[in-house]
Chain A
């Protein structure tokens, strides 16, 4: 008998065979009535966008709104300048980033040792907690999310979901299958030295979100 067989046999001896019908139902139907839905996960319309921005700011991200992706280069140039960052950005191959970057030096590819500023596009936002959902891949390499000293993220206002329930529904509807799904809530931090919270642990020191539309 293999270790696998031994372990599963012990589980079945102790806990029984299990209820195949109940398990199939749980895995297949994605019912949201197994747990209460928090009120803070049920915002709609403008209130949803506002709650997203408020919650993101509460976890030390900064947020600005732009009318369309065409405004992105100018808005990014402004942010880089005001943060005393070099006029350079690293992105993946997301179609949103195929544009004229003007004075900003634009490069594509995964993250390197030194990355002053990186830019990704989020699949979704979560108004419940001010969280971004990013999917790894050629369009948005996962290392850009963690190696950028300042991480910029573009998020369509329409992609902001109220709570986990509609986030997962929206996620399944897109049928993506990335190696990692990254939920990001603010810039990295640690309190491991003297229990005092400091931003900028191993991931970004700063996170800025452009909400589009």
Chain B
């Protein structure tokens, strides 16, 4: 898959392949719990955490309600600092703008800090098609670029790759190093550090994303642990920031509110190692830093979410907590989702950005357990929005006929109490007979999705309604 060629429409097939892929299963088995435990510990260590989530939600709602004013102020500040703002309505516009800046800089190599917006716009493929070499510098992004893949997690892009796979990859791709060298965690990281260190000095352009754009000061903010985003923007002569327009926050204080919940929700850190506020090009007396500073401000469907059922999604700060806590994501990994954004946030955002025709299956990939909403630092009602997408998919006749027939059948049953009572009585009797006194069923016709993986308990006693009526159930 790529940004331009989502495999989202074949989501079910992707899921089957992911569940049968031993490497993905082994990587996912060891990855998820760490994030969950560390977030819980960070939350417990800060009594004000949930109140800060409320404040962050309110701040972002205020910002979205006044978005045009804040965007105008932000642009004013960037220009005053000597930077450029390029407004991009679509991914295609963003690609064109980035290429033009790179060509003007005579770029042969472009270093990249981690940016999901660049993934969304398919910048890497586009630059390569145009003879410019993009080099991903985030360690995880570097690994997946060498593998010819896209990120499977928004903050841990190579979470699906096992350690032996990384070692094999480095042996194959770092051919200038001794073939028999020992490769463990530490030496592999040192190796990537050494390989990329040289590249920082050769690139003409550095591209980073932005976790926030501050209207008050015109600064773009990146939050990283590795320092690659900073080397990518400080050493080349041109720095391009790729950001979507909902990244705006009003002031430094508002940025601090986000910082107080961002890393805690993402990795369980109180602060990520590097939080960098950039404004404009290097100052006259500066000995380092870029000579040009460009911000590509991307819409790509986001203004279409304003004022709709999906506006709340624009509060997302891309921490990844929803996918870290999602039983579906943890079972299938990020690539199965078939486009740039996986997990619950991806299930809501993808249909908004590439259309419900292509992305409509993702909102069905939820058990509606509600963990995503319960951990979301911006209190985004993700399950509610997935339900909205399911409704739209149904309204537009996009759901499979089996689902439509099933729902029609269920409606007929559920809206006729006498029929429902009798049907459940018959079903319960039938299941009991099929169980033949064993108390559980290893196989039920049409329910292979359940019984292939676990037994189905046989009904005991009467139906819920009959028990309720006879008063045996504790009320």
Most buried by A among B227, B281, B283: B227
A189 touches B65 (CB 8 A): no
B288 near A141 with CB under 8 A, answer yes
A27 to B87, Cβ gap below 8 A?
Answer: no
Assembled-state Cα–Cα distance A194/B34 (Å) = 12
Measured between alpha carbons, how far is A76 from B225 in the docked complex, in Å?
26
CB pair B139–A193 under 8 Å, yes or no, is yes
| Beta-carbon contacts under 8 Å, B197-240 to A | 197-198, 201, 215-216, 219, 225-228, 230-231, 234-235
A202→B193 contact, CB < 8 A: yes
Q: Across the interface, do A10 and B303 meet the contact criterion of CB distance under 8 Å?
A: yes
Main secondary structure of the interface of A (DSSP, over half): loop
Cβ of A110 and Cβ of B197 under 8 Å apart? no
- A179-B280, A180-B276, A182-B274 are contacts. A34–B139 as well, Cβ < 8 Å? no
- Residues of chain B within 8 A of A179, CB atoms compared: 278-283, 286, 289
Q: How far is the CA of A10 from the CA of B235 in the complex (A)?
A: 37
Chain B residue total in the interface (Cβ 8 A): 100
| Inter-chain contact A3/B253, CB cutoff 8 Å | no
Q: In the complex, what residues of B have CB within 8 A of residue A194's CB?
A: 30, 162-163, 166, 185
Closest to A61 in B: B273
Contact A181–B219 (Cβ < 8 Å): yes
Interface residue total, chain A, C-beta cutoff 8 A: 79
Interface check A46, CB cutoff 8 A: no
Q: Report if A173 contacts B (CB, 8 A).
A: no
User: Lowest 7 CB-CB distances: which A-B pairs, in order?
Assistant: A203-B227, A35-B55, A201-B226, A192-B140, A164-B256, A14-B306, A18-B66
Q: Give A contacts to B, CB under 8 Å.
A: 2-4, 6-8, 10-12, 14-20, 22-23, 26-27, 30-32, 34-40, 55, 59, 92, 109-111, 113, 128-129, 131, 136-138, 141-143, 145-147, 164-165, 168, 171, 177-196, 198, 200-204
Interface residues of B (CB under 8 A from A): 30-31, 34, 46-48, 51-52, 55-56, 58-59, 62, 64-73, 75, 81, 87-89, 93, 137-140, 143, 156-159, 162-163, 166, 185-186, 188-190, 193, 196-198, 201, 215-216, 219, 225-228, 230-231, 234-235, 245, 250-254, 256-257, 259-260, 267, 269-283, 285-289, 297, 299, 303-304, 306-308
Q: Offer 16 A-B interface pairs, CB within 8 angstroms, sorted by A.
A: A10-B303, A16-B65, A18-B66, A26-B254, A30-B251, A38-B48, A59-B271, A111-B288, A142-B234, A179-B286, A187-B273, A190-B139, A191-B156, A193-B188, A194-B166, A203-B231
